[in-house]
């Protein structure tokens, strides 16, 4: 074990010395090329992290609110439309065997004089749900308020105790301002808690509900209870797990999320192409150094590993810079979301970066850099120490083999056809992946057809030049006579 550790340390030290002597010096000399490679990876990472942050904040805010309100509820009855459903359904649901608690609720955005707030209307059964909702509403349900129009507000609403304010079509009085970490985290503290009847009156929803949260009795079969509740509801509302509300909110922005992710994929592909071009130029310029290393016993695998390590370092630097900028842009964007995005959300959108955002961005940039560099580093395996000293364009490494272009072309056509079939027949994430593969296939097809395209353009250019020369000769001949 000790010998292995010593060998590993020695190998790392040797690799660091090679990178310092060869790679870092080349990167410093050609700093513009280095900055361009880092910048394009930074843009790709910035785009990815910003997208993950924006859409992760939307879905995360809705999930946290849904989880805080639902508590231990296993099922939820929700309205088919925003109009809700008759409150008579609550009694039908409570009578279903296996149902322990059926807590009716009003949960909707209600206007105030300053800005809309999330209004919760609940009765005493909501205290049995547990979680954040229990901590937030147990007090007003256990105590009888002295004011008939009394409500409790979250710490972020901005109203003090005993203050009156306009809520919906009525005026309410603040009996208490809820304090505590859980109360502040629930929708960012932007909510109003009211008795169910009062909430129905100020919103004009008399006899209507938005939600019934259901807990089951111990030992009850959830599938059987759900089937029975669905039968009792009889098509007047939707019966689903509480997480379904968050899923529906996410569906509203899923198309924009997919479009943004496709843009990020395009940015990554363009960045990889630039890294490939940059690494190809670097290998061409380093041929004398590579030939010297080969002549003194350097192994091809070692040289290639150093180049891939160089590309990985550039990818990490670009990804780290871009991730930081992406977080900043995501925070700015969350505060400026257009109403078209937020109008269907009951939750207040707060910035929340998913834990996978930065690792995914760094992985994507490093992987794109390494794969692009590996494609360029194939030249090292094709050049002998003597041939490496040949001028650019003469060596066999400067010519792409025909079989490689044919393989890329056939593979691109196959991916192109498969992607079109998937996009036409499927929807969702699979279709988005197919569209991303389609972009990559287009680039591979362009690589495969580079020679015919260049030859056609060259032939057209030569033909055009010959025609101009021919017309010039005729003009001079006619002028002479």
**Same-domain check for residues 63 and 76:** no
Under the banding of pLDDT at 50, 70 and 90, the label for residue 324 is very high
Calpha distance 350→352 (Å, rounded)? 6
Calpha distance 46→143 (Å, rounded)? 51
pLDDT at 328: 93
**Same-domain check for residues 100 and 58:** no
pLDDT at 4: 62
**Same-domain check for residues 49 and 77:** no
Calculate mean pLDDT across residues 86-101. 89
In contact, 186 and 136? CB cutoff 8 Å: yes
pLDDT at 144: 41
**Same-domain check for residues 166 and 267:** no
Domain-embedded: residue 176:
yes
The CA-to-CA distance between both ends of the chain, in Å, stands at 96
Which residues lie below 8 Å from residue 6, measured CB to CB, with a gap of 6+? Answer: none
Select, from the ranges 18-22, 158-162, 180-184, the one with the highest average predicted confidence (pLDDT): 158-162
Domain-embedded: residue 219:
yes
Under the banding of pLDDT at 50, 70 and 90, the label for residue 71 is confident
**Whether the predicted pLDDT of 470 surpasses 60:** no
pLDDT at 131: 64
pLDDT tens for each residue of 111-148: 888 888 888 888 888 878 876 656 555 554 445 445 67
Calculate mean pLDDT across residues 295-299. 70
**Same-domain check for residues 60 and 177:** no
**Same-domain check for residues 209 and 314:** no
Q: Which is more confident, 472 or 454?
A: 454
Calculate mean pLDDT across residues 220-249. 85
* Domain boundary, last residue among 206, 241, 276: 241
C-alpha dihedral, 146 to 148 to 154 to 157, nearest 10°: -120
Domain that holds residue 96: 72-241
pLDDT tens for each residue of 42-57: 988 898 899 888 888 8
Number of domains present in the structure of the chain: 2
pLDDT at 359: 92
pLDDT tens for each residue of 444-458: 787 778 778 887 887
Tokens representing 262 are 């496709």
Domain-embedded: residue 6:
no
Calpha distance 364→297 (Å, rounded)? 35
Chain mean pLDDT for the chain: 78
**Same-domain check for residues 77 and 219:** yes
Per DSSP, the three-state class of 120 is strand
pLDDT at 141: 45
Which residues lie below 8 Å from residue 183, measured CB to CB, with a gap of 6+? Answer: 132, 135, 136, 154, 155, 189
**256 CB neighbour count, 10 Å cutoff:** 15
Q: Per mean pLDDT, which range of 1-5, 88-92, 253-257, 453-457 is the poorest?
A: 1-5
Under the banding of pLDDT at 50, 70 and 90, the label for residue 325 is very high
Which residues lie below 8 Å from residue 12, measured CB to CB, with a gap of 6+? Answer: none
Which residue from 141, 147, 139, 190 is spatially nearest to 170, judged by alpha carbons? 147
Domain-embedded: residue 8:
no
Domain-embedded: residue 418:
no
Question: What is the arrangement of strands in the sheet containing 150-153, beginning at the earlier edge strand?
Answer: 164-167, 170-177, 150-153, 191-195, 117-122, 99-110, 211-216, 75-78, 238-240
* Domain boundary, last residue among 333, 358, 392: 392
Domain-embedded: residue 93:
yes
**Whether the predicted pLDDT of 327 surpasses 90:** yes
**Same-domain check for residues 388 and 318:** yes
**Whether the predicted pLDDT of 224 surpasses 70:** yes
In contact, 203 and 167? CB cutoff 8 Å: no
Calculate mean pLDDT across residues 177-206. 84
**Same-domain check for residues 140 and 164:** yes
**Whether the predicted pLDDT of 17 surpasses 50:** yes
Domain-embedded: residue 408:
no
Select, from the ranges 188-192, 372-376, 382-386, 391-395, the one with the highest average predicted confidence (pLDDT): 188-192
Calpha distance 334→351 (Å, rounded)? 6
**Same-domain check for residues 64 and 120:** no
**Same-domain check for residues 313 and 184:** no
Q: Per mean pLDDT, which range of 150-159, 219-228, 337-346, 471-480 is the poorest?
A: 471-480
pLDDT at 21: 58
Q: Which is more confident, 222 or 466?
A: 222
Burial of 9 (0-12, 13-18, 19+ CB in 10 A): exposed
pLDDT at 204: 87
Domain-embedded: residue 437:
no
The neighbouring-strand residues paired with 99 are 216
Per DSSP, the three-state class of 172 is strand
Q: At what angle do helices 300-334 and 287-295 cross, to 10 degrees?
A: 140
**258 CB neighbour count, 10 Å cutoff:** 19
**Same-domain check for residues 63 and 81:** no
Per DSSP, the three-state class of 144 is coil
**61 CB neighbour count, 10 Å cutoff:** 24
HEC per residue, 55-72: HHHHHHHHHHHHHHHHCC
Per cent of the chain over pLDDT 90 is 5
* Domain boundary, last residue among 356, 375, 392: 392
């Amino acid at each position: 074990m000790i010998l292995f550790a010593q060998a590993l340390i020695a190998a790392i030290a040797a690799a660091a010395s090679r990178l310092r002597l060869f790679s870092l010096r080349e990167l410093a000399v050609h700093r513009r090329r280095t900055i361009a490679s880092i910048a394009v990876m930074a843009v790709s990472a910035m785009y990815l992290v910003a997208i993950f942050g924006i859409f992760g904040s939307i879905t995360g805010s809705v999930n946290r609110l849904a989880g805080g309100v639902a508590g231990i509820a296993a099922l939820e009855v929700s309205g088919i439309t925003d109009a809700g459903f008759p409150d008579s359904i609550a009694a039908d649901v409570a009578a279903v065997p296996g149902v322990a608690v059926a807590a009716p609720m009003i949960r909707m955005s209600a206007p105030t004089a300053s800005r809309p707030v999330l209004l919760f209307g609940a009765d005493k059964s909501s205290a049995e749900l547990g979680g954040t909702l229990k901590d937030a509403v147990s007090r007003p349900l256990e105590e009888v308020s002295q004011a008939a129009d009394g409500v409790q507000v979250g710490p972020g609403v901005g109203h003090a105790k005993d203050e009156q304010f306009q809520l919906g079509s009525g005026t309410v009085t603040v009996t208490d301002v809820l304090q505590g970490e859980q109360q502040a985290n629930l929708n960012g503290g932007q909510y109003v808690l009211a008795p169910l009847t009062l909430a129905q009156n100020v919103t004009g929803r008399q006899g209507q509900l938005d939600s019934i949260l259901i807990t089951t009795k111990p030992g009850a079969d959830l599938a059987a209870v759900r089937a029975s509740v669905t039968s009792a509801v009889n098509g007047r509302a939707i019966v689903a797990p509480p997480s379904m509300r968050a899923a529906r909110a996410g569906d509203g922005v899923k198309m924009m999320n997919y479009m943004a992710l496709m843009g990020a994929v395009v940015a990554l592909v363009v960045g990889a192409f630039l890294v490939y071009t940059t690494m190809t130029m670097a290998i061409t310029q380093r041929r004398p150094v590579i030939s010297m290393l080969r002549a003194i016993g350097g192994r091809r695998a070692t040289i290639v590993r150093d180049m891939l390590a160089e590309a990985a370092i550039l990818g990490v630097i670009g990804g780290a810079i871009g991730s930081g900028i992406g977080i900043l842009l995501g925070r700015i964007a969350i505060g400026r979301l257009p109403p078209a995005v937020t109008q269907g959300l009951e939750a207040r959108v707060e910035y929340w970066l998913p834990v996978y955002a930065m690792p995914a961005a760094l992985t994507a940039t490093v992987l794109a850099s390494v794969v692009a560099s590996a494609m360029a580093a194939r030249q090292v395996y094709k050049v002998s120490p003597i041939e490496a000293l040949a001028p650019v364009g003469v060596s066999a490494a400067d010519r792409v083999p025909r079989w490689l272009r044919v393989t890329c072309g056939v593979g691109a056509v196959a991916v192109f056809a498969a992607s079109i079939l998937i996009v036409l027949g499927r929807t969702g994430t699979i279709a988005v992946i197919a569209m991303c593969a389609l972009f990559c296939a287009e680039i591979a097809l362009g690589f495969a057809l580079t020679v015919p395209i260049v030859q056609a353009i060259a032939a057209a250019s030569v033909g055009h030049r010959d025609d101009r020369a021919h017309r010039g000769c005729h003009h001079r001949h006619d002028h002479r006579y």
